[in-house]
C-alpha cells in the first residue's frame, strides 16, 4: 500500500496555532477527484482530497478545498476555465490558485485578494504553501484585512458565504475594516465582484 502524506498533514493540523477543522469526505467522491487530477495520496494535494472534504482554518477564515463537502466545492468543481487549480478561498473572497507561472516552470500557488486586486505569486508549491498556512503564516498574511472581534463574526459565516464590505478593501476609505459595513454574501458572488472590479480598474 502506498504511503500517504496525510499523517504528516494531520500532525501539522494538531499543532496549528489556530483551530483547524477537517471536514468529512465521501470516499467515492474523493477517489473520483484523485482520478481526474492524476495524483495519489503520496502528494499533499492528493492526501487532502482523499482524506477531507476540506480544511476550515482559523475560525473559517481560510477554506482549503479537498474532496468536497456541503457548502464547499471539491478542487475539480472549482477548477477555472482559464487553467490552474483553485485550492482555497478565504472569507473575504480571496482565491488561491495553483498553476504554472510560465511553461516549464514549477507550479506555484498564486493569491488574488481584495486589498489590491492583483495576482501575487507566493513562490511556493502546494505542499510548502499548505505547510505555511497550517503552521501559523495566516496571521501575518492577513494582518491588514482583520478587525477587532473578527473571530466570532467569521466563525458564524457559512462555508459557501464570504464577507462583503463597503467601502471595499481596495479603496482608501475601505482600508480600516473596523469602520466599514460588513455582511455575508454568497462566496462565488463575492469572488466575481472582486474580479469584475479588477477588470474595470484595469481597463
User: pLDDT tens digit string along 88-117?
Assistant: 999 999 999 998 777 778 899 999 999 999
Torsion angle in degrees (nearest 10) through CA of 53, 182, 86, 109: -110
Q: How does residue 202 score in pLDDT terms, banded at 50, 70 and 90?
A: confident
Q: How does residue 203 score in pLDDT terms, banded at 50, 70 and 90?
A: low
Predicted pLDDT of residue 99 = 87
User: pLDDT tens digit string along 145-172?
Assistant: 999 999 999 999 999 999 999 999 999 9
Q: How does residue 180 score in pLDDT terms, banded at 50, 70 and 90?
A: very high
72 Cβ partners below 8 Å, 6+ apart?
Answer: 23, 53, 54, 63, 65, 159, 160
- pTM here? 0.95
Predicted pLDDT of residue 2 = 65
Predicted pLDDT of residue 82 = 63
User: pLDDT tens digit string along 181-192?
Assistant: 999 999 999 999
User: pLDDT tens digit string along 1-60?
Assistant: 468 999 999 999 999 999 999 999 999 999 999 999 999 999 999 999 999 999 999 999
User: Which residue has cell 479537498?
Assistant: 66
Mean pLDDT, the chain, as a whole number?
A: 94
**Continuous H helices in 104-186:** 126-135, 137-141, 150-155
- DSSP tag of 72: B
Q: What's the 3-state SS for 117-130?
A: CCEEECCCCHHHHH
Task: Give the C-alpha separation, 87 to 98, whole Å.
Answer: 7
| Of 109, 117, 122, 113, the residue nearest 91 (C-alpha) | 113
Amino acid at each position: 500500500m502506498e504511503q500517504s502524506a496525510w499523517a504528516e498533514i494531520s500532525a501539522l493540523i494538531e499543532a496549528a496555532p489556530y483551530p483547524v477543522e477537517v471536514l468529512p469526505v465521501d470516499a467515492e467522491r474523493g477517489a473520483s477527484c484523485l482520478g481526474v487530477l492524476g495524483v495519489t495520496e503520496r502528494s499533499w494535494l492528493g492526501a487532502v482530497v482523499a482524506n477531507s472534504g476540506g480544511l476550515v482554518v482559523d475560525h473559517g477564515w481560510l477554506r482549503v478545498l479537498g474532496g468536497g463537502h456541503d457548502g464547499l466545492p471539491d478542487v475539480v468543481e472549482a477548477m477555472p476555465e482559464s487553467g490552474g487549480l483553485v485550492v482555497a478561498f478565504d472569507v473575504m473572497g480571496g482565491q488561491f490558485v495553483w498553476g504554472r507561472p510560465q511553461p516549464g516552470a514549477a507550479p506555484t500557488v498564486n493569491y488574488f485578494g481584495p486589498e489590491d486586486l492583483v495576482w501575487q505569486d507566493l513562490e511556493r508549491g502546494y505542499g510548502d504553501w499548505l505547510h505555511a498556512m497550517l503552521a501559523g503564516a495566516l496571521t501575518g498574511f492577513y494582518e491588514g484585512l482583520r478587525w477587532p472581534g473578527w473571530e466570532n463574526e467569521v466563525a458564524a459565516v457559512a462555508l459557501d458565504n464570504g464577507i462583503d464590505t463597503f467601502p471595499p478593501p481596495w479603496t482608501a476609505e475601505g482600508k480600516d475594516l473596523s469602520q466599514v459595513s460588513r455582511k455575508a454574501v454568497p462566496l462565488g458572488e463575492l469572488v466575481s465582484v472582486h474580479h469584475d472590479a479588477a477588470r474595470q480598474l484595469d481597463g
